[in-house]
Amino acid sequence: MNTLFSLAGRTALVTGGSRGIGRMIAAGFLQQGAKVYISSRKAAACDAAVAELSALGTCIALPADVSTPAGIAALVAAYSARESRLDILVNNAGAAWGAPFDEFPEAGWDKVVDLNLKSPFFLTQALHKLLIAGAAQQPAKVINIASIDGQTVNPQETYSYAASKSGLIHLSKRMALRLVQDNIIVNAICPGAFASEMNRDARDHADAVAARIPARRVGVDDDMAAAAIYLASRAGDYVVGTTLTVDGGVNLVR
């Protein structure tokens, strides 16, 4: 039991790892002994996060825009120049867009769906050989960060976000069925309200948001880190193609 949740000797890549949920997961992985690479579109934010996270362990910045094929290729090349295998991939980079139905723009659709749904597939595909190398001794892991908005309907008019996260949940199942053949385990996490730049209500109005959550609080860093550690560690080796909801019970009352 002392090593069941350990990530010692493991190497992880977390996209969108400079802030919010990605940073929570990166910090948790570091505390469990993993070497962690974080990626984000803004190099300055990525470097600043690494400067702080390095107090917990070995953390390295690989800035990249994974919303484009060129950005994915650049990230894979940068990672491959440093490592010969990948043990854990967290597809967390994401975007949201809200607008009334009659005004919702195609640009808002494409930006969100490309990053939230298309990129996790093609980044995992591009890293497939490195994940296979990581799976030689024990299962490699892919964790796709979806959302409870992909499970139940949010009253906000975030059409492309809801569609992309719902699609990512199902995509994770399809990917899991294929990649388990290579000893690569794929699962998804659906976060609820966590304070972040993307969820400013939870960040700036935590008390009001908490009143609508059965657990009577918004999620904290350790809640998200623990869920990801469970799936990334030996503890989650027999959990294949599932969706872990971490929302304090919101889905039960929506």
Query: 37, 159, 161, 230: which one is catalytic?
Result: 161
Strand order through the sheet with 184-191 = 59-61, 35-39, 11-15, 88-91, 140-145, 184-191, 243-246
Residue 95 tokens read as 């975007």
Instruction: Write down the residue that tokens 């972040």 correspond to.
Output: 196
Cα 160 to Cα 10, 33, 80, 91, 196: the distances in Å are 34, 36, 32, 18, 20
Residue 155 tokens read as 């009253």
Residue 144 tokens read as 């796709």
Instruction: Write down the residue that tokens 């497939």 correspond to.
Output: 128
- Amino acid present at 138: Q
Q: How far apart are CA 147 and CA 19, in angstroms?
A: 17
Q: Is 230 a catalytic residue?
A: no
Residue 220 tokens read as 């904290």
Which residues are tagged catalytic?
161
